[in-house]
Structure 1
Amino acid sequence: MDTRRLVLFVIFSMSILMLWDAWQTKHAPAAVAPVASVGSVPTADVGAAAGAIDTPVDTGYALKSGQNIAVTTDLYQININTMGGDLRKLELRKHRANNSQSNYLLLDDAAKPMLYVAQTGLIGQDLPTHNTLFTSTARSYQMQEGQDKLEVRLSAVSNGVTVNKVYTFHRNRYEIDVNYEIKNDSSAAITPVVYYQIVHDSESNQGSALMPTFTGGTYYTEASKFKKLAFKDMAKEPLNITSNDGWVGILQHYFVSAWIPKDGLVRKFYTEKLSSNIFRIGTKSTLSTIQPGATLAVPARLYSGPQTKADLIAAAPGLEYSVDYGWLTVIASPLFWLLSKIHSLVQNWGVAIILLTILIKAAFFKLSASGYRSMAQMRELAPRLQSMKEKFGDDRQKMQMAMMDLYKKEKINPMGGCFPILIQVPVFIALYWVLLGSIELRHAPFFGWIQDLSAIDPFYILPILMGATMIVQTKLNPKPTDPMQAKVMTWMPVVFSVFFFFFPAGLVLYWLVNNVLSIAQQWYVNKMIHAESVAKKQSHVKKSGEHH
């Protein structure tokens, strides 16, 4: 039996099951839950049930709108709406849209189907919420050359309380300062509650059936660490967590937006289903009491941009985990670090993938050689095993006993090729997730026709080469004695190749290089074992001749 191919077949089968499960999850009917207008405001009591609302239940969805303020920085093209001072549209100027030269649109209020807006507000004493109209002194702002930051101020006045909402954009940083300046000119003390939330639909950016990706809520605290929250889970059970630290946000493939409140401020994380396909995730905190004539400044930050490791680490503790490698993070993170170091030397992500694959192969060279040696020995025994099968026919018990005697006589472990492969599997799966989740590969060219390692090979050359290498590997391996297993293993390269037609070029490149190196090593070991087998037979013949 070819244990290596059996293990690969099991891994492949599990992958198909995981993809099927992800497809079913994506298309499962949503749980029934109360819905409300997007215009609703969280209750003021931070100790109340998270996500509770103080407006009547409404089966519709309405996002109020004022005038848009255009903001241009080195990284962003943004629309801030005077209604609540919401961030309604956010384009990333250094990231292109899929199959387009236009800016990547991360936030948008168009709802076709994507709805993705960032909101903040104050609760208590008729203070301005995201449903309050603010004023601004200008309708457009632009960061000038040599300017390190750009400030956009919005104002609202209610019952003697003046609230300034101040956005500060920094050059070459995806962190946006969003600060409140609250001046109490009324005759009574006030105790505001501040909230920060993101509203998002549950339909956009879900990947494909073959390559599903996660889009949903996410949060982090030092106690609970990094968590993801699917929209269907928000519908079943609203989030209700109180913490002294952490952040909340929306996660999608390659990008993340997260509200990061002031350090040390007690916060309650909440989620809510607002309509059939609209959800919100946020955090709210009770502020200190502001006496008449006093002023309070309330700082916060919004990270909205790419999942670039260096930027995420600089923004907030735990935000780097939004590049989610799952249970293989302990392996994947060092692999990405090494990949980045190689890229810094060669300045080409495709070349870096090739060199990293070679390094990993070199690290496992001796272990792989042990597995290939076992398979080569099985290959040499294949004719004798076939003869035994013809001799014993359907008598499986006698066949198994004869096989065990043969393995014992030849000092061969039939499972010897399995263990070395199992040891390497976590490393190669971790590298798979690194290549799938690294935004650095998005729109990164390799050479020639490969101009985006995160996209499908436009001419399918890499998947075809990948299929060819798998066929070569099949020829190098011992042929299974069982006809059904032989037929399955024959079709495996074809099935694998079909799936790789839909995989990003960077992933296919990695598998292709790995296969080429495996073929070279396997061919060398096969040749060496065959030479040993021939020498052994000649020795037996010589000894037999001497006895006669």
Structure 2
Amino acid sequence: MDIRRLILITIFSFSLVMLWEAWIKRNQPPQLPTAAQSAQTAGVPSGSASAPAATTTSVGATPQENATDRHKAPRVIVETDLMRAEISAVGGDIVKLELLKHGQTGAPDKPFVLFDDGSLGHDYFAQSGLIGEGLPNHNTVYALPAGKRVLAAGQDVVEVRLDAPVGTNGVKASKILRFHRGSYLIDVVHELENGGAATVPVQAYFKFSRDEKAAEAKSGYFGAQTFTGPAFYSESGKYKKVSFEDITKGKAKLPEPAGDGWVAMVQHYFVGAFLPKAGQREFFVQDLGNGMASAGVKLAPTQLAAGQKTSVEAELYAGPQEQKKLAALAPGLDLVVDYGWLTVIAAPLFWVLSFLHKLVQNWGWAIIALTVLLKLVFFPLSAASYKSMAKMKNIMPRMKRIQEQYKDDRMKMNQEMMELYKKEKVNPMGGCWPMLIQMPVFIALYWVLLGAVEMRQAPWLGWITDLSIKDPYFILPIIMGVTSLVQVKLNPPPPDPTQAKVMMMMPLVFTVMMAWFPAGLVVYWTVNNLLSIAQQWYITRMINGGSKPANA
């Protein structure tokens, strides 16, 4: 079998295996929690190296959940230009957060729900509290202010103050949440005043509690591969993703305590992240059972003397994974955008794509412009490839004669073939290596289109109203399949009839695969095919006419 075609068939076969594996993962039934998991509480697991046991509410242990149902507790509603939040009296938790500028998948007219109280089948809360005897935590029932809080015209900040019952130690505590105009940042502040006679140790914590289910049903088989779960960052420990499975098994690897860093809960396109202002901090995870887990950060304990006041503050980011804005908020925060293992290629691709978008003001046309640029970059490689294929096509009759003449002597046939290649200066691998070199770029662009929130619900033209999901009518994949078939026709036919049939089936196989890919990626591949056909036709015409094409 021709080596070039063998490699091509291997690539397509590997792609089919990936597709099948992703389909299996997407459609397998969810794993039911074991009885032991269901019985676990919200405390940090005993014996965990990353966080001490949570059997009490003493300093150094995160409080356990109690029987109070935060779903049914009273709430106060806050609305800004970008979000609508519902704050529960239990713990002052943000139990629901709608992003008003982002629509739901399949229902773009309805706000996307990030933090969820079960309205869309998820449990996902932003929580914080204080560790210490008599101090309020995420189980404490706060007094809520009356009425809805709306960011009025000309107002830049809306504030919600929640007062906790005075502790037995005489400490007065309040939790303040500040929402800002034009921002997805929320200030979370705990204010304390020690009205007692003794010094009180105080430690603040900030955490997310979430179920392990993906936020939305993905469109297309490969959507199931995007990461959902906690992530941590510190300058020394760098960026670490932690799977829900590792938390359940007690195998989560967290950064060491540090003087910087943050904790995030990552999902497709969106992220929640607690960014403590300052101070030494410790990272922790908690298995809550029933498919729920928490991930958070605890600040170093401080001493609050009698008559003293203090406050502890962290910023809560809850919004889209817009890389430039995330990078400006905190070191490493832009890493929550999941580009898979080809980040080193995908990140520059996205930067170029964003630059092109500024020029053309449409992501679809930006993808086409990027395709043209990539084609220019790879033009010398492509030209060499098409030159090799054109020469192979011209010597195909002579190759068939050699195969027929030495069909009973394979060694002699191979020797004659090599002599023919050498005489005509044809490299049988010349048409394959350029394609192999371009494959990482193709895969990296796939991750860009899958992971960049800017592509979510971004229209191109006509029926393509969302470049991040499949073409609803499969028109683009069919066009791409036709262009792939034209490319196969322009290539030299395999001498073996079986190989020829396999190669003719490849456009159909690839069309079926691409039907489930993001429409933006199909736009890229279709335009790339059209440019390749034009280039291949030109080079073949030049060689057949006796001329030498540029870069050939």
CA distance in 1, matches of 2:153, 2:120: 35
Q: Match for 2:167: what amino acid?
A: S
Secondary structure of the corresponding residue to residue 191 of structure 2 = strand
Q: Read off the aligned partner of 1:337 and give its amino acid letter.
A: W
CA change 1:184–1:341 in 2 (3 A) is same
* Structure 1 CA distance for aligned equivalents of residues 258 and 23 of structure 2: 34
CA contact (8 A) 1:37 1:62 kept: no
* 1:303 Cα deviation after fit: 0.9
- Give yes or no for the alignment of 1:511 onto 2:510: no
2:126 counterpart residue number: 118
CA displacement 1:457-481 (0-9 Å, x = unmatched): 1221101001001100110111122
State the secondary structure of the residue aligned to 1:274: strand
Q: What amino acid is the match of 2:425?
A: K
Matches within 5 A, 1:225-244: 225-236=238-249, 237-241=251-255, 242-244=257-259
Structure 1 counterpart of 2:153, one-letter code: E
The aligned counterpart of 2:395 is: 381
Match of 1:538 in 2: none
Determine the C-alpha separation between the residues in 2 that align with 1:326 and 1:25.
17
**Structure 2: 5+ residue runs without aligned partners?**
58-62
Structure 2 CA distance for aligned equivalents of residues 167 and 435 of structure 1: 35
1:247 & 1:449 partners in 2: Cα distance? 41
Aligned pairs, how many?
Answer: 532
- Cα distance in structure 2, aligned partners of 1:224 and 1:5: 45
1:525-544: per-residue Cα shift (whole Å, max 9, x none)? 1112222399xxxxxxxxxx
Instruction: Provide the rounded CA distance (Å) in 1 between the counterparts of 2:83 and 2:7.
Output: 48
Query: After superposition, where does 1:429-468 map in structure 2 within 5 Å?
Result: 429-468=443-482
Counterparts of 1:402 and 1:318 in 2: how far apart (Å)? 58
Q: 2:209 aligns with which of 199, 202, 226?
A: 199
SS class of match (2:393): helix
Aligned to 1:218: 231
* 1:114-513 correspondence runs (5 A): 114-156=122-164, 157-159=166-168, 160-205=170-215, 207=218, 209-212=221-224, 213-236=226-249, 237-241=251-255, 242-263=257-278, 265-393=279-407, 395-513=409-527
Tell me how far apart the structure 1 counterparts of residues 202 and 24 of structure 2 sit (CA, whole Å). Answer: 44
Q: 1:60 to 1:516 in 2, by over 3 A?
A: farther
Q: Hey, what's the Cα distance between the residues in 2 that align with 1:111 and 1:72?
A: 18
Distance of 2:331 and 2:40 partners within structure 1: 30
Aligned equivalents of 2:156, 2:8: Cα separation in 1: 53
1:371-426, Cα deviation, whole Å (9 max, x unpaired): 11111111112222222223333543232222112111212111122332333332
Q: Would the aligned equivalents of 1:46 and 1:286 in 2 still touch at CA under 8 Å?
A: no
Give the Å deviation of 1:370: 0.9
Q: Structure 1 CA distance, aligned partners of 2:308 and 2:64?
A: 39
- The answer as to whether partners of 1:46 and 1:285 remain within 8 angstroms in 2 is no
Q: Does 1:95 align with 2:96?
A: no
Identity %: 48
Change in CA separation of 1:174 and 1:403 when aligned onto 2, cut-off 3 Å? same
Partners of 1:36 and 1:59 within 8 A in 2 = no
Deviation, structure 1 residue 30? 7.5
Instruction: Map 1:20-99; keep pairs closer than 5 Å.
Output: 20-22=20-22, 27=28, 34-35=36-37, 40-42=42-44, 49-50=50-51, 52-54=53-55, 63-65=69-71, 66-99=73-106
- Rounded Cα–Cα distance in structure 2 between residues aligned with 1:221 and 1:332: 23
Amino acid paired to 2:70 = K
Q: Tell me the TM-score normalized by structure 1.
A: 0.90
Higher alpha-carbon deviation: 279-288 or 459-468? 279-288
Q: Secondary structure at the match of 2:236?
A: coil
- Give the Cα separation in 2 of the matches to 1:46 and 1:119: 24
Q: Mean alpha-carbon deviation: is it higher for 309-318 or for 353-362?
A: 309-318
Partner Cα distance (1:63, 1:51) in 2: 26
Worse-superposed segment, 5-14 or 479-488: 5-14
Q: CA offsets per residue over residues 288-342 of structure 1, 9 Å max, x none? A: 2110111111110111110112221122111111112234222222221111111
Q: In the aligned structure 1, how far is the partner of 2:319 from the partner of 2:376?
A: 37
Any idea what the Cα deviations from partners look like across 1:48-93, whole Å, max 9, x if unmatched? 7527332799999985342111110011011010100001000000
What is the deviation of 1:113? 3.5
Distance 1:84-1:411 versus aligned 2 partners, 3 A rule: same
Q: CA deviation at 1:29?
A: 5.0
Q: Deviations over 1:491-523 (max 9, x none)?
A: 111111111111121111011111111111111
Distance 1:490 1:187 in 2: 86
